[in-house]
């Protein structure tokens, strides 16, 4: 469970909201049971459940240890929004694998169109999916999903990473070559929608500093490509 600073008082943690339902009804926890919480900033907290008071649970911290759930490299997954629930699948599985953050993009061939209000509502849901995935996979923090950006917004985001890997099925260097001068502290992977990127987009991305990368001769689905990339990158960086 991720706890936020408002829930703290010395060694006591007051749990409220959905987590109480999960602890008491789903996990059927009782006083004396132990639970591992996380402060969301890289510290795990081993705690004991002391009391259940209506819709609140009181925990006492027994031990603090550095969280082992965070990888050495921070990978941002930038993806042209795919249709249906595929993006939610990427958020969930990407969090399990170790993504540091997610950047939804509207590209030329994106089928999904979102206005501001709808995007905010979706983002709340996306963040909830990520939080649940982070809890179940014992991450040390909850990866943020950033606001949806257009193509220019994506180009601007390139500057905050050591390297931008632009997954391009029409040609690029092999992934192991793109990672050969690592290890990196931060990477961004950019993946296209169902119809792929246009050649203009690929050219603009290259000009903005991205490195076109091929994942081999087989064309992966837009929800498979980021997960394959993440797995390879995290493996190459130790864990
Ligand atoms: N039509 C399928 C679909 O509906 O999912 C395939 C979509 S593929 C064009 C989507 C994106 O995955 C591409 O824009 C690219 O970013 C990435 N991708 C898929 N296969 C790739 C490969 N072999 N090399 C590099 N990138 C790849």
Q: What is the pLDDT of residues 29-59, one digit of tens each?
A: 999 999 989 888 888 899 999 999 888 999 9
Provide the pLDDT for residue 143: 96
Residue 3 C-alpha to ligand 1 middle, in angstroms? 38
Between strands 8-9 and 12-15, the pairing is antiparallel
Task: Verify whether ligand 1 is closer than 6 Å to residue 197 (CB atom).
Answer: yes
* pLDDT interval class at 187 (50, 70, 90): very high
DSSP 22: I
* 77-129 pLDDT tens trace: 999 999 889 999 999 999 999 999 999 999 999 888 887 678 888 999 999 99
Among residues 161, 199, 194, 193, which one has the least CA distance to residue 178? 161
Average pLDDT over residues 3-11: 79
Q: State residue 2's pLDDT score.
A: 85
Pocket test for ligand 1, best of 195, 219, 229 (most atoms within 8 A of CB): 219
**Cα of 54 vs its chain's centroid, Å:** 33
Distance 132 CA to ligand 1 centre (A): 27
User: Which of 80, 177, 178, 196 for a ligand 1 pocket mutation test, highest count of atoms within 8 Å of Cβ?
Assistant: 196
Helix, strand, coil shares of the chain as percentages rounded to 5?
A: 35, 25, 40
pLDDT of residue 192: 97
Torsion angle defined by CA atoms of residues 60, 24, 97 and 107, in that order, rounded to the nearest 10 degrees? -120
Position 62 scores a pLDDT of 95
Residue 139, pLDDT score: 93
The total of other beta-carbon atoms located within 10 Å of residue 91's CB is 25
For helices 224-236 and 86-97, what crossing angle results, to 10°?
A: 10
Name the 3-class secondary structure at 30.
Answer: coil
DSSP of 91-109: HHHHHHHT-SEEEEE--TT
Tell whether ligand 1 has an atom less than 6 A from the beta carbon of residue 192. yes
pLDDT of the residue at 111: 84
- State yes or no: pLDDT of 227 exceeds 90: yes
Q: What is the pLDDT of residue 201?
A: 97
**% of the chain residues with pLDDT over 70:** 99
Predicted local confidence at residue 155, as pLDDT: 97
Ligand 1: distance of its center to the CA of 196 in Å?
6
Instruction: Give 224 Cα–ligand 1 centroid separation in angstroms.
Output: 8
The pLDDT value recorded for residue 147 is 94
Residue 169, ligand 1, Cβ within 6 A: yes
Q: What is the pLDDT of residue 225?
A: 98
Ligand 1 near 212 CB (within 6 A): no
**Residue 4 pLDDT more than 80?**
no
What pLDDT does 128 receive?
94
For 126-173, the pLDDT digits (tens) are 999 999 999 889 899 999 999 999 999 999 999 999 999 999 999 999
54: left (phi over 0), alpha (psi -120 to 50) or beta: left
Structure confidence at residue 19 (pLDDT): 87
């Amino acid at each position: 469970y991720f706890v936020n600073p408002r829930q703290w008082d010395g060694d006591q943690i007051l749990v409220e909201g959905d987590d109480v339902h999960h602890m008491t009804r789903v996990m059927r926890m009782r006083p004396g049971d132990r639970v591992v919480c996380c402060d969301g900033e890289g510290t795990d907290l081993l705690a004991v459940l002391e009391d259940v008071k209506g819709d609140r649970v009181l925990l006492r911290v027994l031990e603090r240890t550095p969280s082992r759930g965070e990888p050495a490299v921070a990978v941002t997954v930038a993806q042209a929004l795919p249709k249906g629930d595929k993006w939610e699948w990427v958020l969930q599985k990407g969090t399990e694998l170790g993504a540091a953050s997610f950047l939804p993009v509207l590209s030329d061939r994106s089928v999904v169109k979102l206005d501001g209000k709808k995007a905010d509502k979706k983002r709340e849901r996306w963040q909830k999916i990520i939080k649940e995935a982070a809890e179940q996979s014992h991450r040390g923090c909850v990866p943020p999903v950033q606001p949806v950006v257009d193509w220019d917004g994506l180009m601007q985001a390139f500057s905050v990473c050591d390297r931008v890997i632009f997954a391009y099925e029409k040609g690029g260097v092999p992934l192991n070559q793109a990672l050969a001068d690592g290890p990196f502290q931060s990477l961004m992977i950019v993946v296209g929608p169902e119809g792929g990127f246009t050649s203009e987009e690929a050219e603009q991305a290259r000009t903005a500093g991205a490195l076109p990368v091929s994942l081999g001769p087989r064309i992966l689905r837009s929800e498979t490509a980021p997960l394959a990339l993440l797995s390879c990158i995290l493996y190459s960086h130790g864990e």
